[in-house]
Each structure stands twice: as structure tokens, then as C-alpha cells.
Amino acid sequence: MTKRTTDGDAHERRIKNAFKRKGWSEVKANDSWAIFKIMSEFVEGFEAMQRIRPCVSIFGSARTAPEKPEYKLAEEVAYLLTGRGYGVITGGGPGIMEAANKGAQRGGGTSVGLNIELPFEQAPNPYIDKEKSLHFDYFFVRKVMFIKYSQGFIVLPGGFGTLDEFFEALTLIQTQKIARFPVILVGRKYWQGLLDWVKGTMGEEHAYIHLHDLELFSVVDEAQEAVDAIDRFYSKYMLKPNF
């Protein structure tokens, strides 16, 4: 049986289960237990994260191989951040996340991993500080931890998850739900097509964003540029959780 067939069968079962008629007592019991699980993830996350130094989150693809230049770039970004006194937070998995945790550990800095339980490709990498490796079932709880305890986002090339984290940060800043903090895309060539569409289609053609919203993030190519951008922004602030 191929992986595609197995995945298809699993999706089919989940769809059928979603439409399965359930009694009120079953629905209530399931929802009540979910609430307690969500609360426990928040409590565990807050207790662990409130003890860390100011950190920067580094995002990017879990599928980035160690021999790729983006992997080396992420490791260098994290290493340089620790030299400036920042810790590093990642999603705790392989690829760019592993590279960033590796760079933070090499620099002797705080190395945090917020791992998400997934049916594929996600297991904690070996470069996370033992007491700072957290596990989540819920993406939205995990994203609260990133937002609350990150002093900035550095976003390397990635897929849907990376875009989700990037636009989550921009949305919260744009709507003033959190204070503005630096969001930095690394790799102009990779991001340029998306940025052209955001500016041309979303902004100029349809006016779904203001063009000054493009100032909510910056784009760089080099590790040192990314770290300097974080440093310039926070040179006049006392760093603390965002809310």
C-alpha cells in the first residue's frame, strides 16, 4: 500500500467521523476534555517561557537539508543573535529549525524548541536546551507562545507553515493587537514573487492593504543584516514579553 493511499484512507475516515451523529453527552465530554488540555498547554508554556531571556523566533522549512545554503544561513543567524544577548526560539523540528537551535547552542545561548505533534516530519531536534523543549497538540497555543515571548521574527524560506507564522505576526501588528516588533524576511530571491503580488495585487490593484503596511517588515539577504536589524530596533528598549 502506498503512502498516498494510506493518507487518503486516513483523510476519508476523518471526514466521515466529522459528520457522524454524536449524542449531546459525548459532544460535551469531548469538548470539556479539550478545554482542559488547552488550558494545560497554556499553563505549561507560560511557566516554562517566562523564565527565558529575550528571544527572537526563527522560522523556515522543516524540509531544508543540512547541505543547503539556507540551513547554514539559519545557523549563522542564530549564532550571531546569541552573541548579541538574544536567545532563539524555533518550532523545535528539523530543517531550518534544527539549524537555528544548533547555532544558538554553538553560541552558548538560550535554545528553545516549541514542538508540534504532527503525523509526519516533526520530531524534536537534538540542539534544544533540555528544559526548554516543549510539546504542543494545538497550533494556536504554540503560536501564542511565539508571539508572547519573541522580540522579533526572522523568517527564512519555507512553506505553508512559515507563511502562516509570517502573516500571523503581520496581522497582529497591523491590527495593533500587539506592539510593533521587527519582522525580517531573509532571502530576497525566494520572497520576491510573493512580495510583488502583495504590493501589486493586494495593495495597488485592490487596496486590500495600505502600501505603508509593507513597512511592517524588512527584507535582507545576509545573516549579519538580519541581526543588525533586530539590534537597531531594540537598541532603545527594555525587552519584555509582548503582552
pLDDT score for 179:
85
Higher pLDDT among residues 155 and 23, named by residue? 155
Tell how strand 183-186 and strand 150-155 pair up. parallel
Across the range 152-163, mean pLDDT stands at: 97
Band (pLDDT 50/70/90 cuts) for residue 10 is low
pLDDT score for 243:
42
Q: Among 97-101, 153-157, 178-182, whose mean pLDDT is lowest? A: 178-182
What is the model's pTM?
0.85
Instruction: Pick the closest to residue 110 from 47, 53, 57, 46 (CA basis).
Output: 53
Q: Among 90-99, 109-118, 165-174, whose mean pLDDT is lowest? A: 109-118
As a whole number of angstroms, the longest Cα–Cα distance in the chain is: 59
pLDDT score for 217:
97
Is residue 164 pLDDT above 80, yes or no? yes
Is residue 6 pLDDT above 90, yes or no? no
Across the range 142-157, mean pLDDT stands at: 95
pLDDT score for 17:
60
Mean pLDDT of the chain: 89
Is residue 127 pLDDT above 90, yes or no? yes
Is residue 151 pLDDT above 80, yes or no? yes
Three-class secondary structure assignment of the chain: CCHHHHHHHHHHHHHHHHCCCCCHHHHHHHHHHHHHHHHHHHHHHHHHHCCCCCEEEEECCCCCCCCCHHHHHHHHHHHHHHHCCCEEEECCCCCHHHHHHHHHHHCCCCEEEEEECCCCCCCCCCCCCHHHEEEECCHHHHHHHHHHHEEEEEECCCCHHHHHHHHHHHHHHHCCCCCCCCEEEECHHHHHHHHHHHHHHHHHHCCCCCHHHHHHCEEECCHHHHHHHHHHHHCCCCCCCCC
pLDDT score for 117:
80
d(CA 159, CA 165): 10
Sorted by where each starts, the structural domains of the chain and their CATH numbers stand as 38-234 (3.40.50.450)
pLDDT score for 19:
56
Q: Among 4-13, 48-57, 100-109, 224-233, whose mean pLDDT is lowest? A: 4-13
Per-residue pLDDT reduced to its tens digit, 207-230: 999 999 999 999 999 999 999 999
Q: For 146, what's the count of Cα atoms within 13 Å in the CB-facing half-sphere?
A: 29
Percentage of the residues of the chain whose pLDDT score is greater than 90 = 72
Question: Contact at 8 Å (CB) between 131 and 106?
Answer: no
Band (pLDDT 50/70/90 cuts) for residue 233 is confident
d(CA 207, CA 214): 12
Is residue 197 pLDDT above 90, yes or no? yes
Across the range 143-168, mean pLDDT stands at: 96
Across the range 94-114, mean pLDDT stands at: 97
